[in-house]
Each structure stands twice: as C-alpha cells, then as structure tokens.
C-alpha cells in the first residue's frame, strides 16, 4: 500500500491530482472494453502531452509496474483491459489535430483524436481519412493504430497501416522517438509497420502522421436484398470475380436486420434473409458503369429487390443501419461475443453454413455481420452473462468459429486484434518457430514485459499449449507474457 501511495503522489506530480484516478468506485469504468473480459487497474493516469506520457512510463519502469495504454475503450479483443493490474494510461485528453498539410495530403494528430472527427475536420478541404471502423464515432486514432483497425471501406482503401506514415512513440524506457516520417518510404527497418497492430505491447503512440485522400467525385450506395444468406454470399464472390472492387461490400443476416431495423429505420426489409450494402465511388462516369455491372451480378442470384441510394440522406440512412447493428443486438440478448475472423471470399458460403449449423446445434443465436468484400466475418454469439455457464459457452463457440476460419484458409483476426480473446487460439495458425520469431520482438524493444502484458501470446498451461514453453525459453523469459 505504501508503494502504491508513493506512485500515486509521483503521478500526481506529473499530471496533476485531478488526472490520477485510484479509488475503486472510480476505477470500475476502466475495467473493461468492448469485449467480454474484465480486470481492474490499480491506477488510471490521464496525461495531456507526450512528455507527460514519457514521465509516467519512466515512473512505472522505476517501480516495476505494468502499463496499459487506453483510447476510447471500444476495442473488441480485451486489448485495453489491465489483465495484471498496474497503471492504465488513458490518452483521451490528447485530442489535438496539430497540423493539416493540404498540399501533401497529410495530417498530424494526437492519439485521442476521434476517427470521425478527423474526417469532419478535413472535409472543408475536400479531403477525408479512409479507415472507418464501425465505432468510427467513438474510437480513436491511437486505438486504431494499436489494433490496425479496418472498416467497411478497407476493401478498396486498405486498413490503418496503409494510411499511417509516421508516429511519435514513447518506448518502454520512457524515451520519445519518431518512427516513419511524412513520406510513404523511409530508409531502414519499418519500425512503423511493426508497432502498428502490436496492441500497445512494444511502445505507446503519442502522435500520428496520417495520409489523407481526396473526397470522391461521385458516390452511390446499393442495397441488395436476398431471401437466403447463401445467395448474398454467392453474390459477393460474383462481384469480385467480375473484376469489380467497390469501396465497400457489407453483409447482414436476418438476425442483424431484426435487431437494427426497429431501432434505426434504415429501410431494410424485415423478411429478408440477408442484405448486401455495396458502395461505389470515384469519377461519375465510372460509378454509373460499376453500379450497372454490380446490379447485373446480383440479379444472377435472385434478389428480392435492389435499391440505389444516390442522395446523402438516403446513403446516411442505409449506413446508419449498418453501423448501428452491434448496439442494436441488445434488443435480442443482454450480451454478445463478437468474433473476428477472415476467410477467402470463395469460402464464405461454406463457413457461414457451418456457423449456422453451429448455432442450431448449440442453441445460441449467432448474428452474422460481415465486411464481406474481403471475407472478414463478424459472427456475434448472443448470450446472457447472468446465466451460469453462458459466458464460457459463448467463448467456446467463438473458438469453434475461429477454427472454422483457419481451416478454411483464413486467419484469426481481420481487424480486432488478438488481445485476450484469441491468445489461446494462436497455435491454430502459428507453430513453435513462428512463435519464437515473434516473441523475440519484445526483448528487442526492451519492454521488460511492462507494456500491456499478458496479451496476444498464450500465457501458460491454461491454454493447454505446453509445447510452446520451449519457444518461450529460447526467446527470453519476458518475451511472451
């Protein structure tokens, strides 16, 4: 207790007493993120500058206290959960947009900037920031960097790593360093690329240089309504096979529609088995041609109807439905486990059929929401954590779905990261040598397992992966956990 009190006083000296949270009743809101995992930190510190972050890290290192960097807490894999206690550094005060370089189409921002706020800010210059997670109204750029977030438009534009040029980071020893720069290519090792998606285990991001794009000349959004999920899945493969790469192809099944339509009134037919939301943007002439081609492909799979939204209000209504699905699932069940796996597009029909069979066999409803264009599945297992065994059963079903994805030639995560949720499933994709190679990164960054410990890699015998103990030993005692 004396040590904690001493650290609290030291942290208060860095950021001010009002920005150090340590009373149990105040810490409760920091014990979880958007996942099902929970753990209480000992202290939460809310700095205002990169220099303050660096001083906090130095204090934590001197006292051998672990640190978890936290943004808006919208993550879906437990990445912001303080699994082993320690200090949470909340970056929500660092919300400044520091520079807009219109000529070179870049922006310099702090990690607490809300994703949508950046696009709204640069829209006056005819620019936008492309990555657009479904939590775009709340999630932060720093959190997006930590998880290498995607979004509906990543089909055409790529994920966060494709739009981040450079970063200022605080290393585990408290030093401030820049990785990357203001141009696409920089000499030397791509430390920028290594840190993006490392889930806060290697460094803490304090400034980000992002690439901006010009707003498209024309945009059209199509809603294709199908009686069966399989028809919608086949239509996705048909669109891509035709050589068309829209800005986005999103899919929702009947459970998603039942949840979101009464809440948002997006115009999704209540009796549909699935809907596709397809967005096309670019030059006006090419948009018209692509829309016609997409309609022709969809018509091959017997849609109930195809609608085209051309004005902003109609488009916003359709997208409000898509981005409101997760919140609306609360109409169907008190809790959901959102699984994040990716499969080849040609395997969509097969894997979605397997998920449907799993739902029927288990008795747990599973709502399917997809970034269908790039095969990124988001099945949501609906459950009630108040019922004994429900959370355990939901997690087990999530594990089965991830195995389906990997068996179909896919991967464990498309955009949510590994965090706590998927760490025990890493052996589905990676062997002993793979794990050792990745594990060597932490000692190279001299983290002393201080930054976001107990994340990404299997943490011990509870994962039933004793074979990996050898790789841990070869890579160093602090390399994994």
Which residues make Cβ contacts (< 8 Å) with residue 42, sequence separation at least 6? 4, 22, 27, 65, 82, 85, 86, 87
What is the number of other CB atoms lying within 10 angstroms of the CB of residue 462?
A: 8
First-to-last alpha carbon distance for the chain, in angstroms, is: 25
Dist. CA 157–CA 239, nearest whole Å: 17
Instruction: Indicate the helix (H) or strand (E) that contains 308.
Output: strand 305-309
- pLDDT (tens digit per residue) in 421-480: 999 999 999 998 999 899 888 899 999 999 999 999 987 433 333 333 444 444 454 444
**pLDDT computed for residue 30 by the predictor:** 97
Q: In this predicted model, what pLDDT tens digit does every residue of 224-279 receive, in sequence order?
A: 999 999 999 999 999 999 999 999 999 999 999 999 999 999 999 989 999 999 99
**What is the model's pLDDT at position 432?**
87
* Residues sharing a CB contact under 8 Å with residue 302, sequence separation 6 or more, in sequence order: 226, 227, 231
Which has the closest alpha carbon to 277: 412, 371, 406?
371
Give the tens place of pLDDT for each residue, 160-179.
Answer: 999 999 999 999 999 999 99
For residues 142-169, give the mean pLDDT: 96
How many residues belong to the chain? 481
Task: Return mean pLDDT, the chain.
Answer: 93
Q: What is the pLDDT of residue 405?
A: 97
Residue 391 clears pLDDT 90, i.e. is over it: yes
pLDDT at 121 over 60: yes
Angstrom CA distances, 49 to 56, 60, 96, 170, 200, stand at 11, 17, 10, 11, 18
Range(s) of the chain covered by CATH 3.30.465.10 = 97-214
* Helix segments in 129-190, DSSP class H: 141-147, 154-157
Fold of 97-214: 3.30.465
Q: What is the mean pLDDT of residues 127-141?
A: 95
| The pLDDT of residue 402 | 97
State whether residue 95 is helix, strand or coil.
Answer: coil
pLDDT of 103 > 60? The answer is: yes
Q: Are 274 and 232 in contact (CB under 8 A)?
A: yes
Among 279, 278, 293, 273, which residue's Cα sits nearest to residue 226? Answer: 273
- Whether the CB-CB separation of 465 and 431 falls below 8 Å is answered with no
Extended strands (E) in 91-212: 97-101, 106-109, 127-128, 164-170, 176-180, 204-211
Within the chain, all domains assigned CATH 3.30.70.3450 are found at 218-326
The CATH 3.30.43.10 domain(s) of the chain lie at 2-90
Parallel, antiparallel or unpaired: strands 218-226 and 274-282: antiparallel
**pLDDT of res. 167:** 98
30-43 average pLDDT score: 94
pLDDT at 465: 38
What's the CA gap between 184 and 166, in Å, rounded?
9
Q: What is the pLDDT of residues 333-379, one digit of tens each?
A: 999 999 999 999 999 999 999 999 999 999 999 999 999 999 999 99
Q: For residues 68-75, give the mean pLDDT.
A: 97
Average pLDDT over residues 306-335: 92
- pLDDT average, residue stretch 204-226: 97
CATH code at 2-90: 3.30.43.10
CATH class of 218-326: alpha beta
Residue 129 · residue 210 · CB < 8 Å = yes
Q: Identify how many contiguous H helices and E strands the chain contains and give both numbers.
A: 17, 19
**Lowest model confidence (mean pLDDT) among 54-68, 176-190, 397-411, 457-471:** 457-471
């Amino acid at each position: 207790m004396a040590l904690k009190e001493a650290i609290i006083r030291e942290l208060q000296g860095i950021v001010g007493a009002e920005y150090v949270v340590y009373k149990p009743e105040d810490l409760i809101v920091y014990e979880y993120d958007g996942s099902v995992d929970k753990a209480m930190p000992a202290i939460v510190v809310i700095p205002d500058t990169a220099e303050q972050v660096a001083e906090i890290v130095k204090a934590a290192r001197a006292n051998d206290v672990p640190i978890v960097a936290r943004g808006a807490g919208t993550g879906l894999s437990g990445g912001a959960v303080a699994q082993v206690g320690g200090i949470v550094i909340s970056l929500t005060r660092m919300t400044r947009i520091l520079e807009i370089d219109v000529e070179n189409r870049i922006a310099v921002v702090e990690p607490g900037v809300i994703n949508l706020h950046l696009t709204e800010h640069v829209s006056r210059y005819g620019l936008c920031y492309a990555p657009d997670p479904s939590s775009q109204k709340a999630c932060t750029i720093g959190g997006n960097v930590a998880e290498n977030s995607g979004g509906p438009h990543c089909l055409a534009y790529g994920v966060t790593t494709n739009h981040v040029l450079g970063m200022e980071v605080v290393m585990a020893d408290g030093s401030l360093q820049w990785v990357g720069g203001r141009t696409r290519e920089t000499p030397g090792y791509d430390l920028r690329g290594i840190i993006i998606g490392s889930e806060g285990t290697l460094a803490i991001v304090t400034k980000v240089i992002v690439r901006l794009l010009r707003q498209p000349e024309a945009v059209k959004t199509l809603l294709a309504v199908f009686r069966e999920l399989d028809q919608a899945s086949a239509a996705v493969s048909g669109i891509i096979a035709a050589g068309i790469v829209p800005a986005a192809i999103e899919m929702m099944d009947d459970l998603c529609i039942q949840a979101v339509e009464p809440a948002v009134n997006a115009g999704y037919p209540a009796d549909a088995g699935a809907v596709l939301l397809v967005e096309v943007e670019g030059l006006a002439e090419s948009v018209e041609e692509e829309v016609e081609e997409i309609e022709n492909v969809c018509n091959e799979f017997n849609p109930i109807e195809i609608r085209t939204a051309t004005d902003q209000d109609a488009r916003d209504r359709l997208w409000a439905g898509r981005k409101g699905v997760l919140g609306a699932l609360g109409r169907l069940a008190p809790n959901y486990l959102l699984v994040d796996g990716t499969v080849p597009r040609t395997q969509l029909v097969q894997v979605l059929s397997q998920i449907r069979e799993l739902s029927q066999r288990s008795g747990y409803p599973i709502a399917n929401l997809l970034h269908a264009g790039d095969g990124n599945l988001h099945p949501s297992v609906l459950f009630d954590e108040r019922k004994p065994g429900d959370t355990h059963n939901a997690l087990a079903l999530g594990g089965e779905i991830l195995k389906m994805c990997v068996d179909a030639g896919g991967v464990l995560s498309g955009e949510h990261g590994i965090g706590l949720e998927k760490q025990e499933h890493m052996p589905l994709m990676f062997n002993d040598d793979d794990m050792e190679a990745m594990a060597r990164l932490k000692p190279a960054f001299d983290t002393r397992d201080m930054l976001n410990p107990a994340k990404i890699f299997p943490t011990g015998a509870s994962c039933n992966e004793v074979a990996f103990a050898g790789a841990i030993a070869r890579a160093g005692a602090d390399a994994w956990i």
